[in-house]
Each structure stands twice: as C-alpha cells, then as structure tokens.
Amino acid sequence: MWEFVTKNKNDIIYLSLLLFSVFIGPYYRRINIIEEKKVVGSLLGLFLIATVSGYSALHPILSGIFGIMAIKSTTIQKCHVTTFFFMFGYLTIFRLGERFGLSPSSGHTNLIEMIIVLRVVGVAFEMNGSYLAMMERKRGDRRDDRPKERDEDFVELINPDYVNLFHYTFNYIGLLTGPYYRYRTYDDYFKLPFSKHVDCFGFTINTLKAVPLYVTLYLALSHLFPLEYVLTEEHNSRHFVYRMFYPWLLFAAFRQRIYAGMTLAESVCTSAGLGAYPVQGRNRSGHGPTVGYLKMKQMSLTDAESAQYDFKTVESMEVWGCETVVTLRDSMKVWNKAVQYWVAMVVYKRFPLKAFKIHAALFVSVIWHGFHPGYFFCIYFCPFYLMAEDLYYHLYYKDATGTKKKIIGFIMWFLRSHSESYQAAAFLLLSIDRVWAYYSSVYHYWYFVWFGFFVLGLILNRVRLMLGPRVIVHSQ
C-alpha cells in the first residue's frame, strides 16, 4: 500500500486537489459580492498552482501575467496575434527548459500551463472577434465566411481590464484540468443569476457517480497491461495478433484515466455553478449559448427561477459517445470537446489559407500537447484515416438501413477503434525510439492496411461512378 502511495504521490495530490475544488464549490457560489468572489477565486487558483507546482509555479503565473500584458500592450485589432505567438513561445521555452539548464517541471504543472495558454489566447481572440463584429454591425456588413455564432455571440465589445483578465486567467474553476470556458462564460457567471437557480448539487452528484468506476478500471487495466511491456522481449515473442491488439488494452486504460479526470473537472464547474445556462440557448461545449443570447441576458428573475438548465457549456467528454460512435470523425467531436472548440475557433476558422486550415489546426494541437514525436504520429494520422473512412461511409453506411446498417456500423466501429488504439500507442510512448520499437514489432501494419483500404475505396467509388450516381465526399 505504501509503495503504491509513494509511486503515485503526485497523482494522489492532484486528485485530492480536484476533490477539494469540488467540495468548496457550494461555499464559493454563496459569495454575493462580485469583486470579493473574483478575488477569492483567483486566490484559490494561485493556491492550487503553488500546491501542485512548488517553485515551478512561477511558470504558469508569469506566463499568465506576461500574456495579459501582451493583450493590453497592443491594439484590440492585433492583440490576438501577438498573444498567440507569445503564449506558445513561452510554452516552448517551458517545455524545453531542461535543455537550457532549467529545473524540470511536473506533468501536472504542464497541464496547468496548458490551461493558462487556452485562457489567455482565447480571451484575446474573443476581444478581437467582438471588435470585428461591432465594426461589421456598424457598417451593416455581413460576411458569409465568418462564424455563424457571431450574429448574437458578440452583443457588446469584450475588452476587460488588467484586473478582470487576471481574475479570469487564474480563477480556480477549471484551472487544474479544464474544461476550457470563454471569458464571456466567466463574466456571465458573476452578472447573470443562473448559478443561483440551477440544481448544482444534483448535477454534481450525477456527474461524479461514474468516477469510481473509471478509477477502478484504470487501476486494474494499467496494472494488468502496463505500457512498458510493449518494449520488452517477452512482448515481441508473443503472437502477432496479441501484439496487434495490446494497444486496445493500453488505450482502454488511458481512456478511463481521461474520463475520470475530465469528469472531476466538470464537477468542479457544476459544483460552483459556472457554465449553467437555460437549455433554450442550445448550449455548446466551450462556447455557451448559440441562440437567443441577448434575450437570455435580459431574462427576468422569475423566468430564471423557472428555467431548465444544463452544463453543456463545460462538458468535455461524452463518454458513451466515445465508446460507441461509428466513425473517427464523430469520435473527435465527443472527445475533449471544449479544447476541440478552442482549436476550431482560434486556429481553424481564423487561419487565412483555406487549403492549410486543417494542417494548422493539427499542428497547433500537437504543439499544445507537447514536443514529443508520438503526438505527431498520433494526431497527424487522423486526416489520412478520415480519407478512407469518408469513402466507405458514403459508399455503404450513410444510406444503409436495418440489419445491414448495424453490420456495416459494427465493422466501421471496429476499424475506428483499432485505428485509435494504434495511434494511441504512439501518443503514450512519446519518444521516437519507443514508438518505432513498438510499430516495428507489428511491422507498421496499420499504415499498409489503411493504404489498401483507401485504394480499394477509390476503386469501388470509381466503379459506382461508372454504374450510377457519383459518391460525393464532403470534407468537414
């Protein structure tokens, strides 16, 4: 028992701090003076950073402060670009600090730094987006290429001062593991009455109830099927089918860890009431209400008391969806949804060269995760798999019905799950020598399988083109 505690000391501390953040939520929610509530939230955030990171706490604190200075030292027209490059530049120095003689930081400090980057860069893009929306509204202009959400999203100019930027950056809610939420969501939390009328306790209990299962499954799977085993001679001497399917078990354990962490992080939000909006807003993870936002801001107390609420704004994972969706494209939509939203809004929709949007989004996603080759192997294979998957989806699955659709759906689910597990092996092994060692032990087979499926799909699509209507695959 003591050996287990010693080996997992940092994880136990981190888990304890997450549970502490959940526990204090009701008390934090009851603070009625807005400025006092903001100060307390920031102090709690700084306490969490210091407890997790020790001396390394200087990194997330300094990067947050310097990022705020970058925002306010440039014009609102350019602050998003300046802040983006500064924050990712600091993230690079932070990650490579050991090569320059700096003391290494823990993985948990790295997680906090990642959240700080999302918040500071995200608010800069919000400020610039609101400015562009105000200018367009003033001119009576409406461009077709800008995000649809902007019609009601930016009902006023978002331009917080230094103090409010500081409080947003370091508020304890979501600071340890996420989820990412916008400055608008943070500001609404203090100005709108929703957190006082939603059943925070009920939502929190409902969210937390599956955590013991996730933790138990993670501990069992990681003990029975350790990651390092794939690098041993014993593993390499096992049957090829065993080596081929071992990543399924590794990825299953990894998913349980992520489910547990993300669920606890969501519970921190629900416990405090942050991210609660009436359901009629058609709330979206990361974004918040997508329709009727202006009416929502003007909602009376009577209507607020009787409204139905959800916390979809701070929902990171759809666990059942992650386990059951048929395609990789759909799997990406239900995995770490708040961060996916950030990448889409900050990188994909803002990148000026249309042909390179997806590559820019993937590159930023890789850099945000870390500078390990395994992340490139994992994340950059996704669009290639999607090329083949989209062909078969439109050829066979999309218009299928009944038993035929179930059978085809199971086959596509199996291939999607297998591809994710194969990619996850690289994500977990990280370094090029370890990734190459495992992939070599299975002869890099999945790349050949994918290429064969892709070529076959092109041929089948060509045959259908000659025999009937052409299959049109839309890139999303």
Q: Are 373 and 430 in contact (CB under 8 A)?
A: yes
Give the C-alpha distances (Å, rounded to integers) separating 256 from 15, 221, 383, 457: 14, 9, 25, 34
How many alpha carbons lie under 13 Å from residue 21 in its C-beta half-sphere?
35
**Which secondary-structure segment (H or E) carries 423?**
helix 402-429
Q: Identify which of 55, 14, 54 has the alpha carbon closest to the alpha carbon of residue 175.
A: 14
* Residue 298 dihedral angles phi and psi, to the nearest 5°: -100, 10
Other residues' Cβ atoms within 10 Å of the Cβ of residue 278: 23
Q: Nearest-CA neighbor of 190 among 22, 32, 23, 24? A: 32
Cβ atoms of residues 153 and 293 within 8 Å = yes
Q: How far apart are the first and last CA of the chain?
A: 49
CA distance 80 to 287: 18
**Residue 222 in contact with residue 260, Cβ under 8 Å?**
no
How many secondary structure helices (H) and strands (E) does the chain include? 26, 2
Token duo for residue 292: 């009727």
Distance CA 28, CA 314 (A): 18
Query: Which residues are tagged catalytic?
Result: 336, 369
DSSP secondary structure string for all residues of 237-282: TS-HHHHHHHHHHHHHHHHHHHHHHHHHHHHHHHHHTTT-EEGGG-
Angle at 238 between CA 237 and CA 242, to 5 degrees: 150
Which amino acid is located at 234 in the chain?
A: E
Q: What is the C-alpha separation between 287 and 182, in angstroms, rounded?
A: 7
Residue 198: DSSP 8-state: S
CA angle at 427 for the pair 423 and 430, rounded to the nearest 5°: 130
Task: Give, as one character, the DSSP assignment of residue 394.
Answer: I
